[in-house]
Structure 1
Amino acid sequence: MLDTDRYEAYFFDLDGTIFLGNELLPGVEKTLATLREKQKKIMFLTNTTVQTRTACQTRLQKLGLAAGREEIMTAAYAAGLYLQEYAEQARVLIVGEPALEEEIASFHIKQVQDAEEATHVLVGMDRGFTYEKLQQAAYAVRKGALLIVANPDPVCPVPGGAIPDTWALARAIETAGGASVWAMTGKPSRYYAEQVFQQLQVQPERCVMVGDRLETDILLGKNSGMKTALVMTGVTTSRELESTEIQPDYILPTMEAMVQVE
């Protein structure tokens, strides 16, 4: 069993780890309460670009979980941090939804609609993606704009299957634009990890990453020196776990197994 007293901070994925749809997963509320009683640092890490940090906070609160906005990191917010740090004067053409535009606007990064003006193209999930958007983004990249991708998720699970996500759109822009992705800012990037360590002022070896995805959650933890715990309540199956080199330090059937809960 994971000895929670050994670690200082716990990072949690959201969908498939904390909740599914509009329901908390088993043991989540009591587990988080136990960790907070032990004065452990907690942060929620998500690759979403279609919800702002404020929207994520509201969703958690509606499910009965108190969380500060500063306890939430999204791929959209990480993209804003990246642009602020490395390209503060950027003129960004965004392929994405209003939440991504809102987060980037909060950093006072200039957004443009004209591909001729763009110094960067930022890609997130976009359920309104069109041929015209592909054409504009590809043209900007061919003209020299750097291609920034918010996360590497090829698909997004939905009831009854999956829909194309950020990476699928980025690949189309890469192909049409004739240039490779310059940077990726979401999980499992080292940049994303560095931001959460800095925010909580913790060392990687004192942290545990808890999530349901091997290629994002667990890989984020392993690449950055954290301990990792895979919960089997989301997308990863036992067969997939047996056939991959990405192996977590702990495997939990549900969050209930994470701590002793009365």
Structure 2
Amino acid sequence: MYINDFEAYCFDLDGTIYLGNEILPGAKETLEMLRMNDKKVMFITNSPTRTREECREKLEEFGIAVNQDEILTGPFISALYFSENFPDALIYVVGEEAIKTEFDHFSLKMTDDPLEATHVLVGLDRSFTYEKLNLAMHAVRNGAKIIVTNPDPTCPVPGGVVSDTYAIARAIEVASGQSIFQVTGKPSAFYGERILKELNVARDRCLIIGDRLETDILLGKFNKISTCLVLTGVTKQEDVDKAKIYPDYIVNDLNSLFFNVKQPC
């Protein structure tokens, strides 16, 4: 299948559409062309620090018009996961306000007492402390299950990367002596199925575009959805063979999404 033959195109955000406060080359033009050709578009991020509404506002700052229903985020997917699988859970949150905001929309129950929690939800917490680590550890040692919004160890920023959710989650896992129970974000099957449900397309009519092999590209691999790696974020060309995770297409940036496409062997 040619890269312009898909019905729906799903874009990661950080490292794909923008980097920090800078829109990446070709992002706006590519999205406008897709809209003009009646293609379905969705934005799929693992970011645990933004609500869907905040993502919409950031995209609109770049001149990209988007409906909130076209956005999936780490907190929103985690809220869906709990509402469908553990609706009566009592959740101790290690994370930022975006998680609590999305969970309030689903009327999910959260607690500040780690010893009454049934689950510990871990997202990126940029004010994470030794005290927070100990509180989460006690919750898990008391029987709470560890749920993680996203498995990203780092997040791309201008000039490099910063640590992300999985660094915190693994610290809690090691301290508690209990394994992570579930990761809800990319590349989980739960996330993949939600994409297809929201878009209402067959999996062979959908393309996932992102900058990270271990989340964006594996999301497609695990869910039998085609993938395109864009080299504007954390992954470089030489990383593909090292990781042995092969996307269906590779592009330097979104300017070349429909031109100069490399297809790995």
TM range (shorter): over 0.9
SS in 2 for 1:14: coil
Alpha-carbon offset, residue 242 of structure 1 = 2.8
Distance of 2:217 and 2:55 partners within structure 1: 21
Distance of 1:109 and 1:174 partners within structure 2: 24
Distance of 2:255 and 2:28 partners within structure 1: 9
- Normalising by structure 1, we get a TM-score of 0.95
1:63 is the counterpart of 2:82: no
Distance of 1:22 and 1:103 partners within structure 2: 24
Unaligned runs of at least 5 residues, structure 1 = none
Alpha-carbon offset, residue 155 of structure 1 = 1.8
Distance of 2:26 and 2:193 partners within structure 1: 29
SS in 2 for 1:220: helix
1:203 is the counterpart of 2:202: yes
1:19 is the counterpart of 2:18: yes
Q: Does structure 1 conserve the Cα–Cα contact (< 8 Å) formed by 2:94 and 2:136?
A: yes
Give the structure 2 partner of residue 29 of structure 1. Answer: 28
Q: Does structure 1 conserve the Cα–Cα contact (< 8 Å) formed by 2:19 and 2:157?
A: no
Unaligned runs of at least 5 residues, structure 2 = 260-265
Q: Which residues of 2 match residues 151-190 of structure 1 at below 5 A?
A: 151-190=150-189
Distance of 2:68 and 2:2 partners within structure 1: 27
Distance of 1:254 and 1:162 partners within structure 2: 19
Alpha-carbon offset, residue 8 of structure 1 = 1.0
How many aligned residue pairs are there?
259
Give the structure 2 partner of residue 138 of structure 1. Answer: 137
- Normalising by structure 2, we get a TM-score of 0.94
Q: Which residues of 2 match residues 44-193 of structure 1 at below 5 A?
A: 44-193=43-192
Residue identity opposite 1:102 in structure 2: T
Q: Does structure 2 conserve the Cα–Cα contact (< 8 Å) formed by 1:2 and 1:258?
A: no
Change beyond 3 A, Cα 1:236–1:209: same
Q: Alignment identity in percent?
A: 50
Alpha-carbon offset, residue 2 of structure 1 = 4.2
Distance of 2:117 and 2:154 partners within structure 1: 27
Distance of 1:116 and 1:72 partners within structure 2: 34
SS in 2 for 1:210: strand
Distance of 1:249 and 1:236 partners within structure 2: 15
Q: 1:5-51: per-residue Cα shift (whole Å, max 9, x none)? A: x2111100011111122222122112111111111110000010111
Distance of 1:137 and 1:175 partners within structure 2: 11
Residue identity opposite 2:79 in structure 1: G
Q: 1:134-191: per-residue Cα shift (whole Å, max 9, x none)? A: 1111111111111100000112233444332111111111111121111100011111
Q: Does structure 1 conserve the Cα–Cα contact (< 8 Å) formed by 2:19 and 2:156?
A: no
Change beyond 3 A, Cα 1:246–1:234: same
Change beyond 3 A, Cα 1:161–1:32: closer
SS in 2 for 1:122: strand
Runs of 4+ in 1 over 6 A off after TM superposition: none
